[in-house]
Amino acid sequence: MLSARKSSAQKRAGLRAALKSGKLLRFPGAFSPLVSMFIERQGFEGVYVSGAALSADLGLPDIGLTTLSEVAARGGAIAHATDLPALIDADTGFGEALNVARTIQTLEDAGLCGCHLEDQVNPKRCGHLDNKSLVSAADMVKKIRAAASARRDKNFVIMARTDARASEGLDGAMARAKTYVDAGADAIFPEALADEDEFEKFRKAIKVPLLANMTEFGKTKLLTAKQLSDLGINIVIYPVTTLRLAMKTVEDGLAVLKKAGTQESLLKEMQTRAALYELIHYKDYEQFDKDVFNFKL
């Protein structure tokens, strides 16, 4: 009730241990705290906070328009609503190396368990769009070193994302990833790989945990959890899945409401009041309130 039962430190330690287990960790994207509660209920291993989903929820394209304070506030709210570890998209770190250092400490304070930083130039764009521009590997190394030196909890996961596959090829992306690991990255997020073969090659080249992005309508073939597990991938994210599901349902429902003039036919598609109250532990709050206010003025 009120927030997760586990502390941020406990969740970070748990994530570190899980990354060493050899098991695939599934992190669906949550664009709100309520969604993160459902992700936990369904038995997933973690929650992902997507920069693209957060931007879209604010009515903005994913081109680096969100601020650190916006991302930390939304990410923190999502992280505190669940006992699962939450990994957040920190885009390019909201600036240069010094800004990255502040970003890491702000996300730590917000209760996140880790973040990934990408090697794109600002204004960045979705990793599955063409014509992305990258910073030099040397500039990205500065950011990673700044991130590693700024964290205060050794279990906070610093992940480096490389978007080099499109412009520098698979070999170029793997070379950058190795450099980022040497600079202090705990894990690597190779964005927009094509298929199993490319993931397999990356796995053989990189010794730290790897993340696979199974986003819809992108450049990467959608692989099953079993396929990813067999390839030795450590984390899979489904960054915008829940937002896309929700928005399609909202779009269809509003069309029905406008045409019919009533939502009566949509009731079977809705989460009931009882189900919502059960998810947010309404009765627990009611009991807590009764226990506190058990006197008369």
251 is catalytic: no
**What does the alpha-carbon distance between residue 174 and residue 39 come to, in Å, rounded to a whole number?**
32
291 catalytic, yes or no?
Answer: no
Is residue 158 a contact partner of residue 115, using CB atoms and an 8 Å limit? yes
Q: Of 118, 163, 186, 198, which one is the catalytic site residue?
A: 118
List CB contacts of 197: < 8 A, sequence separation 6 or more: none
Where residue 171 falls (left for φ over 0; alpha for ψ -120 to 50; beta otherwise) is: alpha
Q: What confidence score (pLDDT) does residue 132 get?
A: 82
Catalytic, out of 26, 45, 74, 91 = 91
Catalytic residue from among 40, 45, 89, 119 = 89
Predicted confidence at residue 234, as pLDDT, reads 98
- Please tell me which residue in 12, 26, 161, 176 is annotated as part of the active site: 161
Domains of the chain: 8-240 (3.20.20.60), 247-292 (no CATH)
pLDDT attached to residue 284: 84
- Whether 62 is catalytic is yes
Q: Which amino acid is at 112?
A: L
Q: Of 116, 125, 151, 165, which one is the catalytic site residue?
A: 116
Is-catalytic flag, 89?
Answer: yes
**Model pLDDT, residue 3:** 75
Q: Which of 62, 108, 119, 198 is catalytic?
A: 62
pLDDT, tens digit, 9 for 90 and up, residues 88-133: 999 999 999 999 999 999 999 999 999 999 999 987 877 776 768 9
96 as an active site residue: the answer is: no
- Which pLDDT does position 130 carry in this prediction? 72
Largest CA distance in the chain: 73
Report residue 44 CA to chain centroid gap.
13
- Closest to 106 (Cα-Cα) out of 135, 65, 136, 147: 147
| Known active-site residue 180 | no
Q: Which residues contact 249 (CB under 8 A, 6 or more apart)?
A: 269
What are the pLDDT digits (tens) for 215-235?
999 999 999 999 999 999 999
Q: What is the mean pLDDT of each run of 10 residues along the chain (297 residues)?
A: 87 98 97 97 98 96 94 98 98 96 98 97 77 92 98 98 95 98 98 96 97 96 98 98 98 98 97 93 82 63
